[in-house]
């Protein structure tokens, strides 16, 4: 069980449409999932991803670091066995990953994931 790479960074945004226009049209990132009306959007950044999540309440968290691991369930059971409380149990996500979340000692959210299927292609526009 080894940590292999950082998969993605997720940022909270107040206005998804404005943020999608910025990252897609101005910065030039490739949209993979979501879009201007979505609650969650993902862009390709080299071998990794930049994710945006829509937040309607005041944004009180900095984001989420996502690490790819070779065995999500083994790491989850190891951390729980050490007495750590996780925010979620391992689950399969509709975007093609198995993942769980945990907070570090300072409250930063970490996600550990493994790809289940190829990334979802962008919708026809």
> Which one has a higher pLDDT value, 30 or 68?
30
Q: d(Cα 78, Cα 64) in Å, to the nearest integer? A: 21
The listed CATH number (3.40.50.620, 3.40.630.10, 3.10.180.10, 3.40.640.10) that belongs to domain 3-115: 3.10.180.10
Main-chain dihedrals φ then ψ at residue 17, nearest 5 degrees: -60, -50
| Sheet of strand 64-69, all strands in order from the earlier edge strand to the far edge | 30-33, 40-45, 48-54, 3-13, 64-69, 109-115, 97-103, 91-92
Q: pLDDT of 59-107, one tens digit each?
A: 666 767 788 889 999 989 988 998 888 889 999 998 889 999 988 765 7
> Which one has a higher pLDDT value, 11 or 107?
11
Contact (CB, 8 A) for 2 and 67: no
Name residue 44's beta-bridge partners: 30, 49
Query: Is residue 38 very low, low, confident or very high in pLDDT (cuts 50, 70, 90)?
Result: very high
| Per-domain boundaries in the chain | 3-115
């Amino acid at each position: 069980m080894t940590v292999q790479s950082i998969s993605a960074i997720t940022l909270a945004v107040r206005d998804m449409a404005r943020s999608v226009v910025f990252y897609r049209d101005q910065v030039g990132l490739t949209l993979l999932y979501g879009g201007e009306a979505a609650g969650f959007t993902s862009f390709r950044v080299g071998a990794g991803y930049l994710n945006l999540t829509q937040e309607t309440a005041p944004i009180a968290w900095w984001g989420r670091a996502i690490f790819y691991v070779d065995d999500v369930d083994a790491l989850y059971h190891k951390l729980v066995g050490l007495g750590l409380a996780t925010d979620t149990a391992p689950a399969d996500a509709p975007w093609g990953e198995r993942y769980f979340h945990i907070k570090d000692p300072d409250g930063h959210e970490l996600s550990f994931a493994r790809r289940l299927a190829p990334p979802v292609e962008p919708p026809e526009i």
